[in-house]
Structure 1
Amino acid sequence: MAERDDRFSRPKAARRRIRLPESKDRFGRFTESFARAMGTPAFLVGMTVFCGFWLTYNSIVPAEAQFDPQSQGFPLLTLVLSLQASYAAPLLLLAQNRQDDRDRVQIEQDRLRAERNLNDTEYLAREVVALRMAMRDMATREFIRAELKSFVEDLDERRDRDQP
């Protein structure tokens, strides 16, 4: 009975839980790096060397040492390449979908920026037109001189009339 009480007095051991990825973005970044790596010349050269070594080894060594016999048509190599392709295709599609999402967001931002630029340009065009119209209505130096001259002449005429 004391043994049973002791078992309840200790904390229960932590359960091991399956850890899910912390975020979808981490997996998305992985798919993009995978897609980027598969599109490089280094990957293609590496796969060619790998397949060439595989085929050469299983063709040259004695039949007892072959792990993927040539006589059977290299079934293990076919399986490995099929497995690689079965994982590569969905990962490439996921990377493409992420790129499409980024492109969609970029296009929307570009559209909004273009709309703002258009509004700004229209506003500035209206302001320039308003300034031009205001400049036409403004008195020029010659106009002011002519007005002052006529004003002075009117004053001279009044003065002459008022003086006997």
Structure 2
Amino acid sequence: MKQPVILLVEDNADDEALTMRALKKNNITNEIVVTRDGVEALDYLFATGTYAGRDAGTQPAVILLDLKLPKLDGFEVLRKLRADRRTRLLPVVILTSSKEQQDIASGYGLGANSYVRKPVDFQHFVEAVRQLGLYWLVLNENPASESGGGP
């Protein structure tokens, strides 16, 4: 059986490399799809634009979403995901360097499942990613996709 995909929405190449390295170090072997801005993330999730041929019925097990993104920020991506019946239940973990209380409140207010601040120290980051992987890929039970009706 094919492992579920992890969608990493991250525009910073260093943070992307760090996240990929931390996932690999924790033996998380799921396919990682990386999108580098909010528009590309939504194209992937809704199978539009450059991802028009993708099966939109197959969604990631978890979305790791940065907030500070070009074109469309993480809050707007989250707002659009939660407004659409096809994606409203997808697990979204905000993975960001922001520790602003307003960002945390806004993230949860828009329906994020978790808010994780990127640790500066690599070892702490590896441990954070290990715990995220264990929880979201092993322990968490995702609801079946919703069908029918509009957004």
Report the TM range for the smaller structure's normalisation.
under 0.3
With structure 1 as the length reference, what TM-score do the two structures score? 0.16
Structure with larger Rg = 1
RCO greater where, 1 or 2, for CA within 8 Å and sep 6 or more?
2
Q: As a proportion of its length, which structure holds more helix?
A: 1
With structure 2 as the length reference, what TM-score do the two structures score? 0.17
